[in-house]
Amino acid sequence: MSDYFGSPVRHVIRSLKATEEQPDWIGNILSFGKRLLVLPTCRGTLYLKVSFLLYQGFKANLSLLRRPGEKTYTQRCRLFVGNLPADITEDEFKRLFAKYGEPGEVFINKGKGFGFIKLESRALAEIAKAELDDTPMRGRQLRVRFATHAAALSVRNLSPYVSNELLEEAFSQFGPIERAVVIVDDRGRSTGKGIVEFASKPAARKAFERCSEGVFLLTTTPRPVIVEPLEQLDDEDGLPEKLAQKNPMYQKERETPPRFAQHGTFEYEYSQRWKSLDEMEKQQREQVEKNMKDAKDKLESEMEDAYHEHQANLLRQDLMRRQEELRRMEELHNQEMQKRKEMQLRQEEERRRREEEMMIRQREMEEQMRRQREESYSRMGYMDPRERDMRMGGGGAMNMGDPYGSGGQKFPPLGGGGGIGYEANPGVPPATMSGSMMGSDMVRMIDVG
């Protein structure tokens, strides 16, 4: 097994063998061809990442080393490889990482002796780092570290209700995001801080500039997020002894081993002063944090009151707007009703005018017909019946002042029923009447008179 693993992994395997009390999940480790891969992590907690290993080229099964939904070939999978030989080729550099999957990005600076390579997943990068770090290559010890993420931003002043998904959704408008995470405490509660890792530097720069110049809100509460470049610290590998600078100051500081200072000595006195200074800094920091907390609580209280007042103003404005709309609609309704009334009046006036015109035309026609009758009667020498009626008295007798009618009439008209003339017997003309008929009529007229 030592042929396949580097010294860090061998140490972990030895530790596991020497451990009497092992977690339950160690019994679930599977091996393929007596080859298993054990990967330690930092912070003193040991986890095992196990994968089946193929005989051909010691290539890891990628499906077991990638979390569900994990993006591949991200900046988190990018490794820095230092102390490379000056004559190394790109193909040789790729072969060095061939058993960890197909690389997505390869860069070598032969003059300065370093390079970068991007693997498919974070787990594969961790495996490659654990195996290849401090391995010899042509008389040099390779130094493998995770590359600095140049497109990562630190986000703070987050609401407790902001999740990883909401953070990614909010910042995805600036460009593709590889990872967005809200930092939580040991109880899983949000610390109000987060990390957003973009796929490219322009997207991260755009997000930083837009959020610095403007006010970017993630939730209903007007609480803007503060975006800053992420300060990336190496808390995993730290500073090993082999990388410490061996200058004269180093030699001087290392002359005395670690110890506790004795009371009454020079170093104890000044060490106490250092501790007092640190205590003062701690108290001032706590006071500043308390003042900031009080100021934040006050601001949140004022913001809550102002928010309610703002909502009330919005409701009042909405009510006034609705009232104005109602008044305007009422005015429009009144105007419409007025238009309808005016239209009805115009229609009524038009109807009356048409009726009057019809009556006038009817009268004109009647007058014209009367004139035509009069003219017709005048030409024939007879009296118009209506004119005759006008000349008759109240009892129906003829006006005796002119017993023979008009001067143009030779005989008075005859007729029955109070009327005289040929109208009473229209079939008999006056010239053909007998003398007896004329006499009886005259007697009847005298009796009536």
Q: How many CB atoms lie within 10 A of CB 11?
A: 13
Count of structural domains, the chain: 2
> Do the beta carbons of residue 1 and residue 35 sit within 8 Å?
yes
Measure the CA–CA gap between 41 and 47, rounded to whole angstroms.
Answer: 6
> What is residue 344's predicted lDDT score, i.e. its pLDDT?
93
Question: What percent of the chain has pLDDT above 90?
Answer: 49
Residue 307 maps to a domain: no
**If you average pLDDT over residues 16-31, what whole number do you get?**
38
Sign of CA dihedral 148, 150, 151, 152: positive
Residue 312 maps to a domain: no
Phi, psi torsion values for 154, nearest 5 degrees: -100, 130
CATH of residue 208's domain is 3.30.70.330
Instruction: Find how far residue 249's CA is from the centre of its chain.
Output: 61
> Do the beta carbons of residue 227 and residue 212 sit within 8 Å?
yes
Higher pLDDT, 435 or 370: 370
**If you average pLDDT over residues 346-353, what whole number do you get?**
92
**Do 187 and 122 lie in a common domain?**
no
Which of the given ranges, 16-25, 69-78, 163-172, 229-238, has the highest pLDDT on average? 163-172
Please, which residues bridge with residue 109 across strands? 114
Residue 249 maps to a domain: no
**Do 100 and 85 lie in a common domain?**
yes
Tokens of 448: 């009536």
Instruction: Give kind and range of the element (H or E) at residue 79.
Output: strand 78-82
Measure the CA–CA gap between 4 and 22, rounded to whole angstroms.
Answer: 24
Measure the CA–CA gap between 177 and 165, rounded to whole angstroms.
Answer: 11
Residues of the domain holding 87: 75-146
DSSP 189-253: -EEEEEEEEESSHHHHHHHHHHHHHS----SSS----EEEE------SS---GGGS--SHHHHHH
Q: Tell me the pTM.
A: 0.57
Mean pLDDT of the chain: 77
**Do 162 and 220 lie in a common domain?**
yes
Residue 341 maps to a domain: no
**Do 140 and 180 lie in a common domain?**
no
**Do 108 and 157 lie in a common domain?**
no
State which of 196, 229, 262 marks the end of a domain: 229
pLDDT in tens, 167-185: 999 999 999 999 999 999 9
Measure the CA–CA gap between 90 and 98, rounded to whole angstroms.
Answer: 12
**Do 139 and 157 lie in a common domain?**
no
**Do 202 and 159 lie in a common domain?**
yes
**Do 156 and 141 lie in a common domain?**
no
> What is residue 57's predicted lDDT score, i.e. its pLDDT?
42
**Do 222 and 158 lie in a common domain?**
yes
**3-class secondary structure, 35:** strand
**Do 157 and 206 lie in a common domain?**
yes
Residue matched to tokens 């339950």:
24
Range in 76-80, 113-117, 402-406 with the lowest mean pLDDT: 402-406
Tokens of 136: 């010899």
Residue 130 maps to a domain: yes
Question: HEC string of the chain?
Answer: CCCCCCHHHHHHHHHHHHCCCCCHHHHHCCCECCECCCCCCCCCCCCCCCCCECCCCCCECHHHCCCCCCCCCCHHHEEEEECCCCCCCHHHHHHHCHHHCCCCEEEEECCCCEEEEECCCHHHHHHHHHHHCCCEECCEECEEEECCCCCEEEEECCCCCCCHHHHHHHHHHHCCEEEEEEEECCCCCEEEEEEEEECCHHHHHHHHHHHHHCCCCCCCCCCCCEEEECCCCCCCCCCCHHHCCCCHHHHHHCCCCCCCCCCCCHHHHHHHHHHHHHHHHHHHHHHHHHHHHHHHHHHHHHHHHHHHHHHHHHHHHHHHHHHHHHHHHHHHHHHHHHHHHHHHHHHHHHHHHHHHHHHHHHHHHHHHHHHHHHHHHHHHCCCCHHHHHHHECCCCCECCCCCCCCCCCCCCCCCCCCCCCCCCCCCCCHHHCCHHHHHHHHHHHHHHC
pLDDT of residue 335 exceeding 80: yes
DSSP 267-291: HHHHHHHHHHHHHHHHHHHHHHHHH
**Do 134 and 170 lie in a common domain?**
no
State which of 120, 146, 172 marks the end of a domain: 146
Report which of 226, 220, 225 is spatially closest to residue 310, judged by C-alpha positions: 220
Higher pLDDT, 256 or 64: 256
Instruction: Give kind and range of the element (H or E) at residue 126.
Output: helix 122-132
State which of 229, 245, 264 marks the end of a domain: 229
**If you average pLDDT over residues 70-76, what whole number do you get?**
87
Measure the CA–CA gap between 86 and 332, rounded to whole angstroms.
Answer: 88
Residue 107 maps to a domain: yes
**If you average pLDDT over residues 137-163, what whole number do you get?**
93
Residue 364 maps to a domain: no
Confidence of residue 160 (pLDDT cuts 50, 70, 90): very high
pLDDT in tens, 269-311: 999 999 999 999 999 999 999 999 999 899 988 988 888 898 9
Instruction: Give kind and range of the element (H or E) at residue 116.
Output: strand 114-118
> Do the beta carbons of residue 147 and residue 79 sit within 8 Å?
yes
**If you average pLDDT over residues 7-22, what whole number do you get?**
40
